[in-house]
């Protein structure tokens, strides 16, 4: 069944798709967002671990392979708002060295743009969605920019207690930038510090897409069609332009949505899977894949988590799930002698009972009971995010197994290289030193497997069709009216949590598309 042709169809109503929808709908374009999951409302966000599982990923799984398989469960989103509906809202930006790693170290890949190209969009996003932090304090590591619209969030003892420990190692901690309200912002309330952000903030104090860009897009008449799973991007007969998408609606009936422009914003894993599944006789390896780079260079961060118990009531239940303090003092690519890559250091996330229970799976009976008593008042944890470099062997391919719509499942193969493993180990050592210097009575780490988080790559940007899938705006080299948005277009991943950069780069791409509409869509 064919729907009336629209200006733009956006696949995925998450972080990146919402930005495109807002910019294009406000520019007067007829916009349809097709979203595989439900149309979550704020009233669906209930502060309960059990209930929160309902908004976590569902739908077709990925087959996970490699030495360090990506931790897919809990890492993706499903439904309007995407993963950013229940993300932790840590919003550090990438630093200038992330954009030029090849030029500066002859390793990995350069971005085709510099920090200065993205900087104005970082500032604009902060003021669009609401961010709290101390820009001046961050400027010891990065060029000056605008202040955040809100002052830093309140701090609590379980975050403050780390600061001296890090300082003794020469690591300066400053207020963490977060997409949360320290004060009322654009009619949304200030945070109440109850720490339930990870199952979706029900008050609107956390800037999830449904209360920011998507809300603006809806006001500008963008249409969101929930429970609609896109399976293919369609092209014209000559294979020179995209013509729309094929999808299955909420009744599982096949539909076609024609459009002048298609934006894939379905997250790193799905964007590659969709392009590969859209092969035609003119595009036998998948759309925009003559160079074979679709699905390649998948990257993920490692997390070095250091657990500690202090012998006092540090009020670990208070605060948000985002960080209280952060540091870029180990962000230089050669910060550690025997490792390579950046590290982003955070501390001060609020804890729930299951957080500290799950860090000691070895304990039972009275030992567990004693531990829980100590941990309930004294447990805290830091997270040090480590960079993984782009490696062409880390990839997404189509598997022979199929989902309910007959679309092949994606197989995601991921292994960390020696540098990333060394970086994770160096961070575990550094973090334990900080914990001891902070006066922790018990300090331990888990080494069973390297935790992975934040998936990037698969449709990377570059200077031309020989080295990349899209240009710096997300526009495909081979099919100019097809755009890709989100972390899948990042050629390197730095160590910063990605969403601030996702929003900034999406805003840059969407504004370019709106400005060049006649050339792109005509
Ligand atoms: C628990 C958790 C905590 C996180 N914390 C942070 C943090 O503190 N800071 C940070 O920067 N990042 C964080 N992230 C990561 C962040 O949420 C993602 O990087 C970001 O949401 C990715 O944006 P996106 O637009 O690419 O994808 P998403 O926001 O996930 O949106 C993609 C959307 O596409 C839809 N979709 C997929 N396939 C199809 C299809 N075939 N048809 C139609 N729709 C489809 C999905 O249902 C989804 O809604 C966190 C993620 C998780 C899971
Ligand atoms: S701690 Fe703040 S941001 Fe998190 S869920 Fe509560 S009110 Fe929302």
pLDDT tens digit sequence for 96-106: 999 999 999 99
The finding on whether 212 has its CB within 6 A of some atom of ligand 1 is no
Report how far ligand 2's centroid is from the alpha carbon of 195 (Å).
Answer: 6
Determine the Cα–Cα distance for residues 413 and 11; give it in Å rounded to an integer.
Answer: 24
Determine the Cα–Cα distance for residues 474 and 122; give it in Å rounded to an integer.
Answer: 17
The finding on whether 197 has its CB within 6 A of some atom of ligand 2 is yes
Listed in sequence order, the residues at least 6 apart from 53 whose beta carbon sits closer than 8 Å to its beta carbon are: none
The finding on whether 88 has its CB within 6 A of some atom of ligand 1 is yes
pLDDT of residue 53: 85
Does residue 58 surpass a pLDDT of 80? no
Give the number of whichever ligand sits closest to the CA of residue 35.
1
- Nearest-CA neighbor of 304 among 386, 367, 191? 386
On average, the pLDDT of the chain sits at: 96
Give the number of whichever ligand sits closest to the CA of residue 130.
2
Report how far ligand 2's centroid is from the alpha carbon of 85 (Å).
Answer: 12
Report how far ligand 1's centroid is from the alpha carbon of 365 (Å).
Answer: 39
The finding on whether 502 has its CB within 6 A of some atom of ligand 1 is yes
Q: What are phi and psi of 371, to 5 degrees?
A: -60, -45
Determine the Cα–Cα distance for residues 428 and 330; give it in Å rounded to an integer.
Answer: 13
The finding on whether 176 has its CB within 6 A of some atom of ligand 1 is no
The residue whose CA is least distant from atom 24 of ligand 1 is: 267
Give the confidence band of 331 by pLDDT, cuts at 50, 70, 90: very high
The finding on whether 498 has its CB within 6 A of some atom of ligand 1 is yes
The residue whose CA is least distant from atom 51 of ligand 1 is: 87
The finding on whether 178 has its CB within 6 A of some atom of ligand 2 is no
The finding on whether 196 has its CB within 6 A of some atom of ligand 2 is yes
pLDDT of residue 201: 97
pLDDT tens digit sequence for 408-442: 999 999 999 999 999 999 999 999 999 999 999 99
The finding on whether 35 has its CB within 6 A of some atom of ligand 1 is yes
pLDDT of residue 2: 60
- The string of DSSP codes covering 396-439 is EEEEEEE-TTSPEEEEEE----HHHHHHHHHHHHHHHHHHHHTT
By most ligand atoms within 8 Å of CB, the mutation choice from 83, 153, 196, 510 for ligand 1 is 83
Does residue 482 surpass a pLDDT of 80? yes
In which element (H, E) is residue 31 found? strand 31-34
Token readout for 13 is: 């109503």
The finding on whether 259 has its CB within 6 A of some atom of ligand 2 is no
The residue whose CA is least distant from atom 41 of ligand 1 is: 230
Distances (CA, A) of 235 to 21, 261, 522: 22, 11, 15
pLDDT of residue 20: 99
pLDDT of residue 60: 83
Report how far ligand 2's centroid is from the alpha carbon of 106 (Å).
Answer: 42
Please tell me the pTM assigned to this model.
0.98
pLDDT of residue 55: 85
Report how far ligand 1's centroid is from the alpha carbon of 209 (Å).
Answer: 10
pLDDT of residue 522: 81
**High-pLDDT (> 70) share of the chain, %:** 99
pLDDT tens digit sequence for 360-376: 999 999 999 999 999 99
What's the mean pLDDT in 479-504?
A: 98
The finding on whether 165 has its CB within 6 A of some atom of ligand 1 is no
Report how far ligand 2's centroid is from the alpha carbon of 82 (Å).
Answer: 18
Does residue 1 surpass a pLDDT of 60? no
Give the confidence band of 41 by pLDDT, cuts at 50, 70, 90: very high
For residue 193, the tally of other CB atoms under 10 A from its CB is: 15
Taking each helix axis from N to C terminus, what angle separates 15-26 and 499-515, rounded to the nearest 10 degrees? 30
The residue whose CA is least distant from atom 7 of ligand 2 is: 191
Determine the Cα–Cα distance for residues 477 and 461; give it in Å rounded to an integer.
Answer: 9
Give the number of whichever ligand sits closest to the CA of residue 201.
2
Give the confidence band of 56 by pLDDT, cuts at 50, 70, 90: confident
**High-pLDDT (> 90) share of the chain, %:** 94
pLDDT tens digit sequence for 286-329: 999 999 999 999 999 999 999 999 999 999 999 999 999 999 99
Over the range 8-28, which residues count as b (16 or more CB within 10 Å of their CB) and which as e?
bbbbbbbbbbbbbbbbbbbbe
pLDDT tens digit sequence for 156-184: 999 999 999 999 999 999 999 999 999 99
Token readout for 15 is: 């972080």
């Amino acid at each position: 069944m064919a729907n009336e042709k629209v200006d733009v169809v956006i696949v995925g109503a998450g972080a990146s798709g919402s930005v495109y929808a807002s910019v294009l709908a406000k520019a007067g374009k007829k916009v349809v967002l097709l979203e595989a999951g439900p149309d979550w409302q704020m009233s669906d966000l209930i502060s309960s671990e059990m209930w929160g599982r309902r908004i976590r990923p569902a739908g077709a799984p990925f087959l996970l392979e490699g030495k360090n398989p990506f931790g897919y469960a809990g890492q993706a989103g499903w439904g309007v708002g995407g993963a950013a509906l229940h993300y932790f809202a840590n919003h550090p930006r990438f630093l200038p060295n992330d954009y030029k790693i090849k030029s500066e170290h002859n390793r990995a890949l350069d971005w085709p743009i510099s920090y200065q190209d993205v900087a104005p969009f970082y500032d604009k996003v902060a003021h669009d969605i609401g961010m709290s932090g101390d820009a001046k304090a961050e400027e010891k590591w990065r060029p000056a920019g605008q202040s955040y619209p809100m002052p830093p969030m309140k701090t609590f003892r379980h975050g403050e207690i780390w600061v001296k420990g890090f300082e003794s190692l020469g690591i300066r901690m400053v207020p963490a930038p977060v997409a949360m309200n320290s004060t009322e912002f654009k009619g949304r309330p200030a945070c109440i510090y109850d720490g339930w952000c990870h199952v979706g903030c029900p008050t609107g104090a956390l800037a999830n897409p449904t209360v920011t860009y998507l809300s603006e897009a809806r006001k500008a008449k963008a249409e969101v069609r929930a429970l609609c799973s896109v399976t293919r991007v369609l092209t014209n007969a000559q294979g020179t332009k995209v013509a729309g998408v094929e999808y299955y609606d909420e009744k599982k009936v096949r539909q076609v949505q024609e459009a002048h422009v298609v934006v894939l914003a379905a997250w790193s894993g799905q964007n590659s899977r969709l392009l590969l599944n859209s092969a035609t006789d003119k595009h036998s390896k998948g759309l925009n894949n003559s160079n074979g780079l679709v699905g390649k260079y998948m990257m993920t961060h490692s997390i070095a988590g250091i657990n500690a118990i202090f012998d006092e009531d540090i009020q670990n239940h208070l605060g948000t799930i985002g960080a209280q303090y952060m540091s870029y003092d180990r962000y230089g690519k050669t910060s550690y002698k025997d490792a390579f890559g950046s590290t982003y250091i955070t501390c001060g996330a609020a804890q729930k009972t299951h957080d500290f229970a799950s860090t000691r799976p070895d304990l039972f009976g009275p030992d567990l009971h004693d531990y829980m008593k100590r941990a309930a008042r004294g447990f805290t944890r830091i997270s040090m995010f480590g960079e993984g470099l782009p490696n062409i062997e880390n990839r997404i391919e189509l598997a022979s197994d199929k989902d309910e719509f007959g679309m092949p499942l994606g197989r995601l193969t991921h292994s960390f290289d020696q540098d990333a493993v060394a970086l994770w180990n160096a961070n575990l050592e550094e973090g334990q030193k900080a914990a001891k210097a902070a006066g922790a009575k018990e300090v331990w780490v888990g080494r069973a497997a390297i935790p992975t988080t934040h998936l990037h790559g698969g449709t990377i940007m570059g200077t031309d069709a020989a080295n990349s899938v899209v240009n710096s705006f997300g526009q495909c080299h081979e099919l100019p009216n097809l755009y890709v948005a989100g972390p899948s277009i990042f050629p390197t991943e730095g160590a910063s949590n990605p969403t601030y950069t996702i929003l900034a780069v999406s805003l840059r791409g969407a504004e370019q598309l709106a400005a060049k509409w006649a050339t792109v869509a005509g």
